[in-house]
Structure 1
């Protein structure tokens, strides 16, 4: 009877040990809409490489959108226990009933799990207790092609959100520019809510009725953090409920370019301004010496890539060499502000007065609904003759490599000067290198002479006898110590 009791206790202990060391796989829910994700968690207290588990059978019916691993430590009866976790975010690929097959790892096998994928449903915009809600809006119901439209998505909440994520805004056929995120508080029915506001500037290249799908929020609410858990993400949260809320889709009517503006450079914006900047040499212009002129276009409500070139026009006896334009887009409180900078190297070929023509940029004022023109006034400046021995103007004759005027196929202004500076610097370094090499050769010769003299000295009879006497003295000294 005692033997039977001992065997029974041993069986219970072995079963408990087997369960404690099993590979456990769980799902956060067993029924999931097609347009939502499901979280699968693998747990083990015997292995730290759960990411090596073969998941090919799971990937037949689900895509893996993300994964995270973590180690947790807990105290049980004064003993520290370690648990390894691997959390996977699964995305259903079809409607139906599926099975997560038994997974195997290092001789352990998990239990199979069943899951049902139902047709996609639109997530609600708020929880029933109104503790969390999301909303989206456009700053205008209609817009012209390439006109800026501001899309705003807000998360309004008064309870803690854990592992909150907002889906990426996907608008086919539109250029999307993210604007800075805003965080503030709002009072609703005497209660204080936190608000997270994400804004985007949209630019549609084609006319038509557009549908903008609302962004979605996924988060865990009502979760408590395990004080013995270490790591990041969902694994360090105990309990909690995963929620998903989505904003309603929005409609936008994008109208074509007005007939009066077709065939012209089309630039819809809230404001457009032209500026110019000159190099200091403009005050003392001399024949053959380059001047640098930069024309800047600043537009609010347009991105830098939308801005056209500000053509300065041509002037006789004034050669113009354009550089590659620079584009930037920066946020401001009204959306996006774009800048385009066109830089020109101007080289006069004769002395006298020069008048640069007026520069114009046509644009469409989206606030007034009218076409307008931004202007730079004409500019007149004088050019003095080149001093004797100075650079000469290039009037079409063959030029040399030292000429200031670049001909077709030559580098842009500034490249020749840079090349000359580099050549001078290379010449200086070449001299230093030759001097260092000569010093090294002299040192080598001195070393060779010393070696020859030393070898000659070693061959002298007296030197050999002295070494022999020293060796005998050393041997006798060693013998005395040992005795």
Structure 2
């Protein structure tokens, strides 16, 4: 049998087509914090996945909120060769009353967003004496389970300017706990007892790895306070301490004794197909992508979705993809598993139900996220298209008979004798064998087309360079960014260098790197951090910083503050 390469090339291109998204352009609304105090500002974001000249109508919010300044951001991204564009509007809001307020849908052109509820609490009373500076901390739960997320929030309130501020990390003792930073620091304004405060908030996600008790010592904020034009000596402000009880993993559900332990606040299971799956040609691949996301869980803790073993199908799993986002409820981990599915012969094949048991930490019970069973209709290879009705046995016999054979008596092309029946059987078997060989050839072609480019890329790609070369490259990026006045570029390059230099305790901010290096670089990094986050911002001397980055001297081990002693400063020194 002759294999037509152009036809196979088209089939391969169709197999690698982009996934068809079921989502339609729509407006999506979200808030940075679901719980706020009265007289405390928060941010509402409205996003659309298209570029539009229309503007959202925020006037409908004025009955319940003070509406502040609106900013707009347009973005373009290219993923797997597909370009997507989006626009996001951010508006600062402050509630006019307490209680649960429903933010109504926002209209953007022809689209309407979802509504968003927000809880507005009574304003927090200021500490005795109405302090100009104070620190608070809270945890979202007092009891939880092993590997379940705990959100620990620190807030620094300042009614007056401060100098040389730094936040000393609380000590976490007791049960072994994994610590993750949940998003960037937030800055907003709050009014307590008529007194305006500038607030900086940091959220940390804790994941206990064993049952027992977790003790969190007070967070301590150190700074020099500016009052009446004079700077005071260094003062220390501290928050409350917290204790959390961690329960052991509960037994799995009776009907699923092998269920993996997955504690979360919400679990979503979704799927995408590269094309319609209800009717496939035998030998043609179709790609199925299954996405599992869990709010309150790290992406590395999400279980794999095993490829189904189904008769009549060949299923090939690809390497999973991991990611995370940060929401008001904490970290949402995400895992994507992709499978190439090839039907081997004509008929209907059912993919089984996909189920993921998980533990709802809010309801304290087992639940199951699932995808329904899918029926794939596979059309046999080489099966002719019917015209004017189905073909009968006589039609097949006429086509299968050897050239020059005379029609049998009793019907046009109908079989009437043993020799003719043997010829029909022979050609039927020959056709089936050729069809199977064609399918095997097509599958081998498809598989080689996937693996060959990957092997070529692997052969072309150089081996991972030595660690010292990676570090040198990161420092060069930082020097180039400093010379160009690119503060964000300097920060990204230095954090990359920090992860290489201290893989076991990677720094999470420029301020923490400054604590681990000696002068003159430490001084320049503190200036950079102050220019980025300090009051009023400021410029940096890029040339001086680039020069300091040419020679990096680390602080001796006994001089370096341990990770348990110092958090990256919320506001630099």
Q: When the two structures are superposed, what TM-score results if normalisation uses the length of structure 2?
A: 0.44
State the partner residue of 1:143: 144
Q: Does 1:362 align with 2:357?
A: yes
Q: Does 1:254 align with 2:254?
A: no
Q: Does 1:210 align with 2:214?
A: yes
Q: Deviations over 1:394-447 (max 9, x none)?
A: 7999x77982364xxxx7x7224677999xxxxxxxxxxxxxxxxxxxxxxxxx
CA distance in 2, matches of 1:337, 1:317: 37
State the partner residue of 2:274: 279
State the partner residue of 1:222: 226
Instruction: Write out the 4+ residue segments of structure 1 that deviate beyond 6 Å after TM superposition.
Output: 125-129, 392-397, 399-402, 417-422
SS of the residue aligned with 2:287? strand
State the partner residue of 1:435: none
Q: Deviations over 1:71-93 (max 9, x none)?
A: xxxxxxxxxxxxxxxxxxxxxxx
Q: In the superposition, relative to structure 1, how do residues 287 and 154 fare at CA in structure 2: closer, same or farther (>3 Å)?
A: same
Q: Deviations over 1:130-164 (max 9, x none)?
A: 21111211111111111111101111121101222
Q: In the superposition, relative to structure 1, how do residues 283 and 353 fare at CA in structure 2: closer, same or farther (>3 Å)?
A: closer
CA distance in 2, matches of 1:184, 1:156: 10
State the partner residue of 2:177: 174
CA distance in 2, matches of 1:245, 1:305: 36
CA distance in 2, matches of 1:152, 1:138: 6
CA distance in 2, matches of 1:203, 1:152: 14
Root-mean-square deviation (CA), in Å? 3.6
Q: In the superposition, relative to structure 1, how do residues 396 and 358 fare at CA in structure 2: closer, same or farther (>3 Å)?
A: farther
Deviation, 1:282, is 3.3
State the partner residue of 2:205: 201
SS of the residue aligned with 1:311? coil
Aligned length: 279
SS of the residue aligned with 2:300? helix
Q: Deviations over 1:46-85 (max 9, x none)?
A: xxxxxxxxxxxxxxxxxxxxxxxxxxxxxxxxxxxxxxxx
Q: In the superposition, relative to structure 1, how do residues 216 and 278 fare at CA in structure 2: closer, same or farther (>3 Å)?
A: same
SS of the residue aligned with 1:403? helix
State the partner residue of 1:404: 445
State the partner residue of 2:135: 134
Verify the 8 A CA contact 1:288 1:394 in the aligned structure 2: no
1:338 to 333, 337, 345: 333
Q: Which has the higher strand share?
A: 1
Listed as ranges, the gaps of 5+ residues in structure 2 are 1-125, 384-430, 459-573
Verify the 8 A CA contact 1:393 1:405 in the aligned structure 2: no
Q: Does 1:414 align with 2:406?
A: no
SS of the residue aligned with 2:281? coil
Q: When the two structures are superposed, what TM-score results if normalisation uses the length of structure 1?
A: 0.51
Q: Deviations over 1:348-389 (max 9, x none)?
A: 221221110100000111111111111100001212233499
Larger radius of gyration, structure 1 or 2? 1
Q: In the superposition, relative to structure 1, how do residues 160 and 128 fare at CA in structure 2: closer, same or farther (>3 Å)?
A: same
Listed as ranges, the gaps of 5+ residues in structure 1 are 1-124, 226-237, 423-483
Verify the 8 A CA contact 1:145 1:203 in the aligned structure 2: yes
Q: Which shows bigger deviation, 163-172 or 268-277?
A: 163-172
Deviation, 1:281, is 6.1
Deviation, 1:190, is 2.7
Verify the 8 A CA contact 1:352 1:382 in the aligned structure 2: yes
SS of the residue aligned with 1:147? coil
CA distance in 2, matches of 1:379, 1:402: 22
Verify the 8 A CA contact 1:289 1:404 in the aligned structure 2: no
Q: Does 1:299 align with 2:303?
A: no
Q: In the superposition, relative to structure 1, how do residues 223 and 193 fare at CA in structure 2: closer, same or farther (>3 Å)?
A: closer
- Following superposition of structure 1 onto structure 2, how do residues 438-453 of structure 1 map, counting pairs within 5 Å? none
CA distance in 2, matches of 1:174, 1:396: 56
Deviation, 1:177, is 2.4
CA distance in 1, matches of 2:170, 2:314: 48
CA distance in 2, matches of 1:303, 1:171: 20
CA distance in 2, matches of 1:302, 1:292: 27
- Following superposition of structure 1 onto structure 2, how do residues 5-44 of structure 1 map, counting pairs within 5 Å? none
SS of the residue aligned with 1:177? strand
